[in-house]
C-alpha cells in the first residue's frame, strides 16, 4: 500500500467541561485518489474528525500529516487554501456573484485574472452550469441543487488534491440529491481527487465510497473497509445494526446500471408509421418496443396489442415513459424504477437523455442470484 496522502495520527479532541472526548485517539489514513466516507450515528464525531483535517477545529492531541508533511502547527489559513471544503448549507457569499464566489481561493493564491476567469468557466461547465448564464448571477437566484454545484466548483477552484465534504447533499431533495451524487461520481472518475466525505446515510456511504469508516461515539472506528467487505462481513453488532437489515438489497447499491447488460428491444424512432411499427414487433421475439422522438429520446412503450387496440396516431399509443435510468444509477434505484414500470423494464439514457438500452427485471434477478451464491452467509 502506498504512502497515505492524509494521515491523522493519535489525534484527539476534547472540549473543556465535557468528560468524553469528541474524538478519542484516532489514527486514520486516507490514500490518494480514494473516496473515504466517514459514516456513523449523530454525534459520533464524524464532522469533528473531518474538520480536524483542515484544522477548522484544532486537535488537543496527536499529529496531522498531509503528503508526509506534518501540518499540525502550520498556518491554518494557508493549509486550508490547499484543501477544498464543501458543507451542507453551502455557504456561498451572498454579496458576490457566482464567478466571484468560485474565484475566491485562486484570488487568495494570487492567480492572474485571465487564468482565474478561464478556470471559473471551466468549473461551471464541469458542474453542468452554463457559464454564460450563471457567471454573473447571485446566490439568491439559485435553487438548492444549483447552489451546491457552485459550492463544489468553488471547492475545486484552486485544484486542490484533497476535498473535504460534510454532508454536502443533506439539505437537498431526494431527486436532486440522487442526480448530484451521480454527477459527482462521474466527476470523480475524471478528476481522481482524494476525498473525505461525511454522511449519516449508510446508503449514500455505500454508493459514494471506495472505503467506508463506520464510526462509534468518540469517532472510534468500528470498521473501516470497502463497502463489499463491510456488507458481507460486518465486524460486530454495532456495524450490523448500523447497516440495517437487507444487506443483499444494500449490495445492490454497489453495482451500477452500467454493470449489467442492457436488454435489446426494438427501438422505433419518430417519424414512424403504425404499420411499420407493427411489422417490426411481429418480426421480433420481444413483446414491447420503445418509441423514440426525433432526438433519440424515449417517449413511450409500444406493444402489438396497444397498436391494434386503437386507431390513434402512434405517438398516443401504448404507455408513456415517465422515468428513466442513467448508467451511474445504482441497481437499487433501477429495481425501484422497474417495479414502478408497467412493463417490468426501464429505459437507460445517457447524459443528454438519449436512449441507450433497457434494463429488465430478469437480468437484474439473475445478477442477484449469481452474486449471492458467491457471498458468505451472515
Partner 1 sequence: MTLVTHPKAQRESLAEKLDIIVTPIFAVLLAIIGMAVWLYSDIDDTTRSILAPEKIQGQLIDTIILGFASSALVVAIAIPIGIAVTRRGLPRVKTFLVDTLGLAQALPAYGLIVIFFSFMGSGIVTVIFALATFSLLPVLRNTIVGLEQVDQAVIEAGRGMGYTKRQVLLQIELPLAVPIIIAGIRTAIVINIGMAALAFLVGGGGLGETINSGLKLDRNPAILIGAVLVAILALVFDFLSAVAQRYLKPKGM
Q: Tell me which of 7, 46, 154, 177 binds partner 1, using CB under 8 A.
A: 154
Window 160-179: contact mask with partner 1 (x via CB under 8 A): ----x---------------
Q: Is 103 or 292 the residue whose CB approaches partner 1 more closely? A: 103
Q: Cell digits for 322?
A: 415517465
Answer yes or no whether residue 377 interacts with partner 1 by CB under 8 A.
no
d(C-alpha 165, C-alpha 187), whole Å: 14
d(C-alpha 201, C-alpha 216), whole Å: 14
Answer yes or no whether residue 58 interacts with partner 1 by CB under 8 A.
no
Answer yes or no whether residue 85 interacts with partner 1 by CB under 8 A.
yes
Answer yes or no whether residue 255 interacts with partner 1 by CB under 8 A.
no
Answer yes or no whether residue 80 interacts with partner 1 by CB under 8 A.
yes
Shortest Å distance, C-beta 303 to partner 1: 40
Antiparallel, parallel or unpaired: β 298-303 and 319-320: antiparallel
Answer yes or no whether residue 54 interacts with partner 1 by CB under 8 A.
yes
Answer yes or no whether residue 52 interacts with partner 1 by CB under 8 A.
no
Tell me the backbone φ, ψ of residue 347, rounded to 5 degrees: -80, 145
Q: CA of 172: how far to CAs of 90, 105, 282, 374, in Å?
A: 11, 25, 46, 37
- DSSP state for residue 263 in the 8-state scheme: B
Q: Cell digits for 59?
A: 486537535
Q: Cell digits for 233?
A: 462481513
Answer yes or no whether residue 87 interacts with partner 1 by CB under 8 A.
yes
Answer yes or no whether residue 137 interacts with partner 1 by CB under 8 A.
yes
Q: Cell digits for 55?
A: 484544522
Shortest Å distance, C-beta 144 to partner 1: 12
Tell me the backbone φ, ψ of residue 377, rounded to 5 degrees: -75, 140
Answer yes or no whether residue 71 interacts with partner 1 by CB under 8 A.
no
Answer yes or no whether residue 57 interacts with partner 1 by CB under 8 A.
no
Answer yes or no whether residue 96 interacts with partner 1 by CB under 8 A.
yes
Contact (CB, 8 A) for 108 and 100: no
Q: Which residues bind partner 1 (CB under 8 A)?
A: 54, 56, 77-82, 85, 87-97, 104-105, 108, 133, 137-143, 146, 151, 154-155, 164
Amino acid at each position: 500500500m502506498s504512502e497515505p496522502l492524509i494521515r491523522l495520527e493519535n489525534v484527539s479532541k476534547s472540549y473543556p467541561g465535557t468528560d468524553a472526548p469528541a474524538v478519542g485517539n484516532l489514527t486514520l489514513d486516507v490514500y490518494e485518489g480514494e473516496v473515504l466516507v466517514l459514516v456513523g450515528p449523530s454525534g459520533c464525531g464524524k464532522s469533528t474528525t473531518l474538520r480536524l483535517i483542515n484544522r477548522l477545529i484544532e486537535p488537543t492531541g496527536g499529529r496531522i500529516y498531509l503528503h508526509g508533511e506534518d501540518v499540525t502547527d502550520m498556518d491554518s489559513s494557508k493549509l486550508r487554501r490547499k484543501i477544498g471544503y464543501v458543507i451542507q448549507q453551502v455557504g456561498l457569499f451572498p454579496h458576490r456573484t457566482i464567478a466571484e464566489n468560485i474565484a475566491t481561493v485562486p484570488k487568495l493564491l494570487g492567480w492572474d485574472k485571465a487564468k482565474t476567469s478561464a478556470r471559473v468557466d471551466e468549473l461551471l461547465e464541469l458542474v453542468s452550469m452554463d457559464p454564460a448564464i450563471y457567471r454573473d448571477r447571485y446566490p439568491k437566484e439559485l435553487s438548492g441543487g444549483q447552489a451546491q454545484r457552485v459550492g463544489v466548483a468553488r471547492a475545486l477552484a484552486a485544484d486542490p488534491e484533497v476535498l473535504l465534504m460534510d454532508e454536502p447533499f443533506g439539505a437537498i431533495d431526494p431527486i436532486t440529491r440522487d442526480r448530484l451524487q451521480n454527477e459527482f461520481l462521474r466527476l470523480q472518475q475524471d478528476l481522481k481527487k482524494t476525498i473525505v466525505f461525511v454522511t449519516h446515510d449508510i446508503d449514500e456511504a455505500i454508493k459514494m465510497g471506495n472505503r467506508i469508516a463506520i464510526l462509534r461515539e468518540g469517532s472510534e472506528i468500528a470498521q473501516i473497509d470497502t463497502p463489499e467487505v463491510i456488507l458481507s462481513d460486518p465486524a460486530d453488532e454495532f456495524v450490523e445494526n448500523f447497516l440495517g437489515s437487507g444487506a443483499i438489497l444494500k449490495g445492490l447499491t454497489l453495482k451500477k446500471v452500467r454493470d449489467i447488460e442492457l436488454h435489446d428491444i426494438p427501438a422505433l424512432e419518430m417519424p414512424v408509421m403504425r404499420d411499420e411499427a407493427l411489422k417490426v414487433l411481429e418480426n421480433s421475439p420481444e413483446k414491447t418496443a420503445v418509441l423514440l422522438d426525433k432526438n433519440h429520446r424515449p417517449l413511450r412503450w409500444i406493444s402489438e396489442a396497444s397498436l391494434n387496440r386503437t386507431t390513434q396516431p402512434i405517438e398516443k399509443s401504448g404507455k408513456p415513459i415517465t422515468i428513466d435510468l442513467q448508467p451511474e444509477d445504482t441497481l437499487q434505484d433501477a429495481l425501484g424504477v422497474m417495479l414502478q414500470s408497467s412493463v417490468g423494464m426501464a429505459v437507460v439514457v445517457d447524459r443528454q437523455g438519449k436512449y441507450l438500452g433497457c434494463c429488465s427485471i430478469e437480468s437484474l434477478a439473475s445478477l442477484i442470484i449469481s452474486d449471492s451464491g458467491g457471498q458468505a452467509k451472515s
